[in-house]
Chain A
C-alpha cells in the first residue's frame, strides 16, 4: 500500500501496522508519537493499528527547542 510518511510517499506491506513503520524508521523507544490522518494514535495501539491506502502518517520525536 502507498502512504504519505512524514510528507513523503512511502510504500509499505499490505498489512503494515504503525509498529512496523516505527521499526522501519529505527525509531527510539521513548519520546516518539504518531498521528494518522491528523489523529494521535496512542502508543498501546501501535502494534494492532493497520494503515490504509493513502494514509497521512506523521511520526515525530523530541528535539531541542523552545
Chain B
C-alpha cells in the first residue's frame, strides 16, 4: 500500500490507546505486523512511567500523531503543529470531534482544519464520517487519504453502513482507511473485502480479553479480506445456482 508517497507492507494501522501497559502495547504491535501506529499528545505528567516514544522506536514503527480530543479546527491545527514538533513528522491523523458522547466528526470544522493543515505542508489523514460527499471534499482539499468510520470510536459496532463505505471506496482517488468501529476480526475483513486500502484499529485489540491473540486475528483478517477483494467475489443471487452439472444425471 502506498500512502503519501510511502510504501507499507502491512495494511493494518494500530491505535495505541487502551493498552494496560506499554509492554502489552509493544507485544500487540509485533503480533499485528503493523508498520504505523497512532500516538496522542497530552499535558506532560512528571509522574509518568516509561516513555512511549522510546518503546515505539524500539518497535521500529512509524508514528501517526492524532488530534484526539479537539472540538474546533483551531485546536486541531495547533495540536497538529505541536505533534509535528514533538514527533518530527508531517503526518497527522486529523480528528475534530463534534459531540462528546458519540465522538462523531464535526464535518465543517474537519474540512476547515484539513485545508489549513494541507496548506501548511502536512500529510493529512482525516477521521471522517462515512459520508461519500465529505470524503470527496476532503480529497479535493488535498488530504493524503480518507478515514471513514465504520461506527463510533470504541463502540465495536463494526460497519453500520457498508453501502456508504462502498461509495466512498468506489469514488476515492486517495487511499481509504476504515477508522473506528472495528469490534472483531470479521469487521476488518469486511472493510477490506469492500475495497478499503487499510484498517485502523485500536480498542478492538487493546481492550480484547487477549490483545495479543486479537492483534493476530485482525492482522489475518485484513490480509484475508484484501485477498478476497482482489480475487473478486461472486455476485449475490436470489436463487441457487447448482455447482454440479445437470447433464448425465442417471434415471432410476
State A32–B78 Cα separation when bound (angstroms). Answer: 14
Contact of A64 among B40, B43, B45 (CB under 8 A): B40
The secondary structure that dominates the B interface is mixed
Q: Does B148 contact A (CB under 8 A)?
A: no
Complex CA–CA separation, A7 to B42 (angstroms): 12
- Give the interface size class of chain B: 35 or more
| A25 interface neighbour in B16, B46, B54, Cβ under 8 Å | B46
Q: Quick check: B51 and A31 within 8 Å, CB to CB?
A: yes
A27 within 8 A of B: yes
Q: Roughly how many angstroms separate A49 CA and B66 CA in the complex, as a whole number?
A: 27
Which A7-51 residues have C-beta < 8 A from chain B? 7, 25-28, 30-35, 38, 40, 42-43
Contact indicator B85/A42 (Cβ below 8 Å): yes
Q: A32-B86, A42-B85 are in contact. Are A60 and B41 (CB under 8 A)?
A: yes
Q: Are A64 and B82 in contact (CB under 8 A)?
A: no
Docked complex Cα distance between A9 and B143 (Å) = 39
Tell me if B39 and A33 are in contact (CB < 8 A). no
Stretch from B17-25, B159-167, B213-221, B237-245 that touches the partner: B17-25
Summed over the interface, the residue pairs from A and B with CB atoms below 8 Å come to a total of 99
Residues of A within 8 A of B41 (CB): 33, 60-63
- A-contact bits for B93-114, CB 8 A (1 contact / 0 none): 1010000000000000000000
- Whether the Cβ atoms of A63 and B85 lie closer than 8 Å is no
Assembled-state Cα–Cα distance A66/B41 (Å): 10
> Which of A26, A40, A61, A65 is packed against the most chain B CB atoms within 10 Å?
A65
Which B residues are CB-close (under 8 A) to A43? 85
Instruction: Report the Cα distance A58→B44, complex, angstroms.
Output: 9
Given contacts A33-B86, A62-B87, contact A25 B18 (CB under 8 A): no
Chain A residue numbers with a CB within 8 Å of B52 are 31, 62-64
| B31 contacts partner chain A, Cβ-Cβ < 8 Å | no
Determine whether the beta carbon of B44 is less than 8 Å from that of A6. yes
**3 smallest A-B Cβ distances: which pairs?**
A65-B40, A66-B38, A31-B53
- The 19 sampled A-B contact pairs (Cβ below 8 Å) are A31-B51, A32-B86, A33-B85, A33-B86, A34-B85, A38-B78, A43-B85, A58-B82, A60-B44, A61-B43, A62-B87, A64-B16, A64-B39, A65-B15, A65-B16, A65-B39, A65-B42, A66-B39, A66-B202
